[in-house]
Amino acid sequence: MNITHILKNNMKQLFFTLCVFLFSIIIYAQEPASFVWCDLSDRNLVGLQNPNLVFPTDSGFTVYSVEEIGSQFYAPKIIYITKFDASGEKLSTVEFKLPMRSQKDATLLSVFEGNNKLYFFSHVAVKKDGKNMLYAQIYDNATETVSAIIELYTLPIEKVNNSGFFDVAISDDKNTFAVLVNKPFIKKAKQAIDVLTFDAELNKVSSTSQTLSFDSKRANSETLFVENDAVVTIVKKTNLSKKEPITIVITIKGDEVSEQQVSSNEFYISDSKVITVNNKQYLLGFATDNAKPTVSVGGAKDNSFFVYNISEQKLVVHQEWSKETIKRVLGKGYIDLKVKDILVNNDDIYLIGDCYSKDSEPIEGQNFKYNYTHRFGPGVVIKLNISGEVLYETPLSYGEEYLNDMKTLGSFYPFINNNKLQILANEKESILKNKKIVAGYKKINAKVIVLRSFDDQGQIETIPFWYSNTGGAKRLTKFAPTQTLQLSDNIFYIYATGFESHKFGKMILN
């Protein structure tokens, strides 16, 4: 072979390689996002069966998983905390158990992500020593160590089935905890509570004992909030079985307690959340004018949204759905509408709702084992300001149903980018391509990640990431929008799960 022939062949190969390289650059530039996935692994492996992503950094992220030891209904739990590098590769694992007293395991109450710390709150009531005790354990992500067991509060009891109960909340800045103690039920008595606040090291800052104006109950429908300034708010519902349920807001500042009724005739609050804006507390959420519809259609329909100024005790705005929303939502209302998130961006507030319900069905032949069906959608986004001016109201049309721990695939992930609301979600390719696919089950349910971007009028631009699928066994592993960590404006750590496999990854918005 002469030198000319060799040069020609080399030039052809070089030209081909250059074309492929340039084509790859063009494709990459056109793709709205790029992905880096770690290897696929068995999602039933001990230590990562119920992963929750926390603490995103440039060098990686952390995952905690709360898992049962054994298969008994009251099986004790063990907690695994695993660190990963930025590529999703496992680095190290710490494991520990919840407290035990008199050979009785504590029940996990709640888990909170603090400033590079995880807080695990649990409790156990024992008749023998007459105590219902609230415990805390702190994991330090910097040192990868778990604190000694902290005995946070001891509640005297006479019976385990009447042992009172606890609730815990954390402030937005993650520096303050509030603990609500509902004392044991006493017949023909008013509700007695203790309210405590703690700092980030769980040192007690304040404590107050109060008797509320409500009759003592064995169970209460109430939600606890604590603000950065340590103001504690309890949103309490009463008369739930009646046609006119009542919502009361209880505010606790030190030893000062105030109660105010927020609901009124034909204004019955279904779900709400407390936020602080300009040093004032507000209650935002959804409501209905008919809490007990005469003809059952699966539940009361939320037909409005509202903003209530708790600090000034006045209703700022209460507005029914627009005609456009009514047209687009089946049944002219939302059933099981929950406050998914409230995002505050300068003077703008985004109230984001997601319809969610859960059903359970016993598994035949297995004691205390159930299949849980989780239903999501439709949703709604309302942009307004704290003075009550509504800037837009946009329905989100979707409907998903998942079984058991596949629940993590449901719903979506909202965030603010360049002063605009954006939502990461899954969407079926058949819907995106506006065509009906009938060539097999897998293709019908084929999904990709989409980015929904909202303009100033609430119009949505949907951007599909056509190459967002994770691959793996049968290409069934899906991205989970509820398991998304935002590292920066355009970088996210993400989780993908399927029926048998899962993996972690990094998503970069281009």
The three-state DSSP-derived secondary structure of 403-421 is EHHHHHHCCCEEEEECCEE
User: Do residues 317 and 306 make contact, with C-beta atoms less than 8 angstroms apart?
Assistant: yes
The two tokens of residue 124 are 């156990």
Helix or strand or coil: residue 14? helix
Element (H, E) at 226: strand 221-226
What is the pLDDT, as a whole number, of residue 73? 56
Whether the per-residue pLDDT at 66 is higher than 60: the answer is: yes
| Mean residue pLDDT across the chain | 87
19 φψ region: left (φ > 0), alpha (ψ -120 to 50), beta (else): alpha
What is the pLDDT, as a whole number, of residue 71? 58
Beta strands in 227-313 (DSSP E): 232-238, 246-253, 256-261, 268-277, 280-288, 301-302, 304-309
Whether the per-residue pLDDT at 484 is higher than 90: the answer is: yes
Percent of all residues in the chain with a pLDDT value above 70, rounded to a whole number: 87
Q: ω before 32 within 30° of 0 (cis)?
A: no
What is the pLDDT, as a whole number, of residue 74? 65
Mean pLDDT of 299-326: 92
**β-strands 390-396, 370-385 pairing:** antiparallel
Look up residue 87 and give its amino acid.
S
pLDDT confidence tier of residue 389, bands split at 50, 70 and 90: very high
What is the pLDDT, as a whole number, of residue 10? 52
For residues 337 and 335, what is the distance between their CA atoms, to the nearest angstrom? Answer: 5
For residues 493 and 485, what is the distance between their CA atoms, to the nearest angstrom? Answer: 5
Of 66-75, 107-116, 405-414, 495-504, the one with minimum mean pLDDT is 66-75
For residues 126 and 130, what is the distance between their CA atoms, to the nearest angstrom? Answer: 6
The two tokens of residue 27 are 């494709």
What is the pLDDT, as a whole number, of residue 383? 97
Going by C-alpha positions, the residue among 237, 281, 275 that lies closest to residue 352 is 275
Element (H, E) at 467: none
For residues 491 and 454, what is the distance between their CA atoms, to the nearest angstrom? Answer: 19
For residues 87 and 84, what is the distance between their CA atoms, to the nearest angstrom? Answer: 8
In degrees, rounded to 5, the angle at the alpha carbon of residue 445 between the alpha carbons of residues 444 and 450 is 120
Query: Which tens digit of pLDDT belongs to each residue from 419-453?
Result: 999 999 988 887 888 766 545 545 556 788 899 99
What is the pLDDT, as a whole number, of residue 247? 95
Look up residue 114 and give its amino acid.
G
Whether the per-residue pLDDT at 475 is higher than 90: the answer is: no
Which of 137 and 377 is assigned the larger pLDDT?
137
Mean pLDDT of 361-374: 87
Local structure of residue 321 (DSSP, 8 states): P
What is the pLDDT, as a whole number, of residue 472? 63
For residues 261 and 259, what is the distance between their CA atoms, to the nearest angstrom? Answer: 7
Whether the per-residue pLDDT at 72 is higher than 90: the answer is: no
Whether the per-residue pLDDT at 299 is higher than 50: the answer is: yes
Look up residue 81 and give its amino acid.
I
For residues 213 and 13, what is the distance between their CA atoms, to the nearest angstrom? Answer: 85
* Residue recorded with tokens 């030190």: 254
Mean pLDDT of 151-159: 93
What is the pLDDT, as a whole number, of residue 428? 83
Radius of gyration of the chain from Cα atoms? Answer: 26
Q: Which residues of 200-230 are buried (b: 16+ CB within 10 A; e: fewer)?
A: bebeeeeebeeebebebeeebebbbbbbeeb
pLDDT confidence tier of residue 167, bands split at 50, 70 and 90: very high
What is the pLDDT, as a whole number, of residue 331? 66
Percent of all residues in the chain with a pLDDT value above 90, rounded to a whole number: 62
Mean pLDDT of 251-263: 93
Beta strands in 127-277 (DSSP E): 131-140, 145-146, 150-156, 165-170, 177-182, 190-198, 204-215, 221-226, 232-238, 246-253, 256-261, 268-277
Helix or strand or coil: residue 33? strand
Which of 237 and 24 is assigned the larger pLDDT?
237
Mean pLDDT of 85-102: 94
Distances from the Cα of 306 to the Cα of 168, 324, 396, angstroms:
26, 18, 19
pLDDT confidence tier of residue 332, bands split at 50, 70 and 90: low
Local structure of residue 159 (DSSP, 8 states): B
Look up residue 118 and give its amino acid.
L
Most confident by average pLDDT, 3-7, 19-23, 141-145, 239-243:
141-145
First vs last C-alpha separation in the chain: 47
pLDDT confidence tier of residue 473, bands split at 50, 70 and 90: low
The two tokens of residue 70 are 């054994």
What is the pLDDT, as a whole number, of residue 12? 47
Mean pLDDT of 259-270: 94
Q: Cβ–Cβ contacts within 10 Å for residue 297, how many?
A: 10
In degrees, rounded to 5, the angle at the alpha carbon of residue 50 between the alpha carbons of residues 46 and 52 is 125
Of 59-63, 343-347, 424-428, 476-480, the one with minimum mean pLDDT is 476-480
What is the pLDDT, as a whole number, of residue 442? 53
Going by C-alpha positions, the residue among 500, 499, 369, 477 that lies closest to residue 426 is 477
pLDDT confidence tier of residue 16, bands split at 50, 70 and 90: very low
